[in-house]
A = this chain, B = another copy of it.
Amino acid sequence: MRIAIFIFDGITALDAIGPYEILGRLPGAQVTFCALEAGVCRTDTGALGLVADKGIDDVEAADLLIIPGGPRAGGVASDPRLQAWVRRVHATTRWTCSVCTGALILAAAGLLDGQPATTHWYRFDALAALGAVPVRERVVVSGRIITAAGVSAGIDMALQLAAILGGEALAQALQLSIEYDPAPPFDAGSPDKAPPEILASVKAFYAERDKGRS
């Protein structure tokens, strides 16, 4: 199974690594990390380089296409060349998936027009502006497109997809192999659960960050 994972400068690493860690262990998986051009992409913090072994022009088809996000994914999504590639590869996939603001890239390519989808909780307006119908769920399946909520949601998405592709026993084996028995020390992982002052502080942080960018 050919799995193409798109990466870019400014990517949030866990968006890509969560699904990779699970789907890359499916029997017969052939994972290709690709970017606009082959070479090193730096993550959103700048602290890590991820190697894209191929440029997108060298990836014409895939069984699974995984599009992660990052704080600047909305800008990345506006590239007509990327949009055309996403559409072209999507035409060949069994499943096309996004994590976090990777949904903005799918939406900008026209894949989510009128479709239910999710993204990072802070970017619902941006997703709606691109024609999708935001749904506040951790994983949204619509046709053969699967969108996951922010960052860590890609792990849950990948387990669901592993079960679809290889059966529940295989998905459970993969879950056990990465010892995914989550025990977060707090229950603050969604805007519905986080204390209001925490939610306000994160929103303020994002607003400041986005201001500095424009």
Are the CB atoms of B179 and A182 closer together than 8 Å?
A: no
Contact mask for chain A residues 54-75; partner B; CB cutoff 8 A; 1 contact, 0 none: 0000000000000000000000
Write the nearest CB–CB distance from A211 to chain B, whole angstroms.
17
A29: chain B residues within 8 A (beta carbon): 45, 47
Are the CB atoms of B185 and A189 closer together than 8 Å?
A: no
A185: chain B residues within 8 A (beta carbon): 156, 159-160, 163, 171
Are the CB atoms of B155 and A172 closer together than 8 Å?
A: no
Known contacts A25-B45, A50-B50; A175 and B189 CB within 8 A of each other: yes
Question: What count of chain A residues pass the 8 Å CB interface test?
Answer: 68
Give the CA-CA distance A197 to B198 in the complex, in Å.
Answer: 42
A184: chain B residues within 8 A (beta carbon): 155-156, 159, 175, 180-182
Copies in the complex: 2
Give the CA-CA distance A155 to B155 in the complex, in Å.
Answer: 12
Stretch at the interface among A9-17, A77-85, A87-95: A9-17
Are the CB atoms of A201 and B160 closer together than 8 Å?
A: no
Are the CB atoms of B13 and A182 closer together than 8 Å?
A: no
Are the CB atoms of B24 and A14 closer together than 8 Å?
A: no
The answer, among B12, B30, B173, B190, for a CB contact under 8 Å with A21, is B12
Stretch at the interface among A106-114, A124-132, A144-152: A144-152
Q: List 7 A-B residue pairs with CB atoms under 8 Å apart, sorted by A's residue number.
A: A149-B181, A151-B177, A152-B178, A152-B180, A169-B197, A173-B188, A175-B194
The 8 closest A-B pairs by CB, nearest first: A150-B179, A49-B51, A181-B189, A172-B188, A31-B47, A182-B182, A151-B178, A181-B190
